Structure 1
Amino acid sequence: MKVLVPVKRVVDYNVKVRVKADGTGVDLANVKMSMNPFDEIAVEEAIRLKEKGIVTEIVVVSIGVQQATETLRTALAMGADRGILVTTDQVTESLAVAKVLAKIVEEEAPGLVILGKQAIDDDANQTGQMLAGLLGWPQGTFASKVAPEGDSVHVTREIDGGLETVALTLPAVVTTDLRLNEPRYASLPNIMKAKSKPIAAKTPADYGVDMTPRLSVLKVVEPSKRQAGVKVKTVDELVEKLKVLGAVA
């Protein structure tokens, strides 16, 4: 079975982002970029399935600027077999990305698509669902356990009430949650091998998809700073202050 894993290049989660002075977006100058953490979990899960003999090939896909090649190389160093880079300088929105991925799925014919539940830059949490909708495939979101079995896959997913296990008929789309696994570090020999693994160069036009953004950003601002708290001497004083804030009647 072939597995397709979309990955996104985002600002590293350890970096404190800064807003541009003109409020048009986040300042990306000289900022460390890396693979979206949820997508890294998806790559790891695909590799583990391959190690179990369930998966025969792992194809990673990234849609974005040319520098996303580095993100694909990271996935290849972890253990993926080949990559596809769809180059665009446009802002990548969920629906357009899902449309491109749907076309790639038609070409590659994978048995399973595994992707992160959301990207940490926009927190949209909708590309996987949109892709499943476009393909007409069953989907398992927020997966904390993935267990393929014959022509189906059992996905244990996190919901408000605890855990829910759903049985999906393959082919299917699965989005990963944090507790699914712990991604491995790429070893030096694998990093060297990744340089020789193939990455196909594509554009959105090759798939007949218009990447022009549908949304307009009016302004980007930093969140307001948290105000310092105060100490109270008695419970009565605490209650009075809560009444002022409207926290209690």
Structure 2
Amino acid sequence: MIALTNLASASTSPQALPLALAAGPRFASAVAQLQRLMTPSSTLRLSPPRRAAPRISIAVLGTALLACSSAQAETRSYRIDPDHFSVSFSVAHVGYADVIGLFLDAKGSFEYDEATQALASGRVEIAADSVFTNHEERDDHVRGADFLDAGDHPTLTFVADELSPDGPAQGTLTGQLSLRGETHPVTLAVTLNKADRYPFGHEQHTLGVSATTELKRSDWGMDYAVDNGLVGDSVAVRLEFEAIAQ
């Protein structure tokens, strides 16, 4: 039997293959394979080093996220549905009970970004002579010079200044209320009750909103019966409405 070292040594000589053939086909095949294994290989090819993935700076990433967020933000115009707009108020009467009243004619619109809760603009107009307290004589009195002075100042106007969100559905709205020819700032607590596609009828995206505030009517020159306490100076105001995206 031929040792492996001898076989390896023999395989490197030029005479190795003829001798192997003389020894037999199987032996010749083994020597040929060994010879191929021990022949110096060609130049070794190395894979090029991998390039490190480019690093994205925090600033660049932040800018991209901000741009994406800005692209999703959208200011939309809304019109308050006059069929679903209630403006109510209540005021103390001689300390016994509150008189509750409504304004039956009001309209409004605003521009609002639901994603960022930013209010771009807003305006509400109320017809002074549409006041209703379920008592005709009292309504005539409220329309007169002692209170709303509807003859000389037919419209109550609120113009929004700024909405400050207090949570996902609440906020504080500031603006200017013009009444009886005087304009003073007011602040309202606002709640977004629902924002969704209307389930029937117009089927448009709709916001449902509640807003409340409390006014001192004497700030607008309505000081009738304040000193003697027959009619309260503080007036609680509530607005309930549905606003349709345009």
TM-score per shorter chain, which class? under 0.3
Tell which has more relative contact order, 1 or 2 (C-alpha 8 A, sep 6+).
1
**Which one has the bigger strand percentage?**
2
Larger radius of gyration: 2
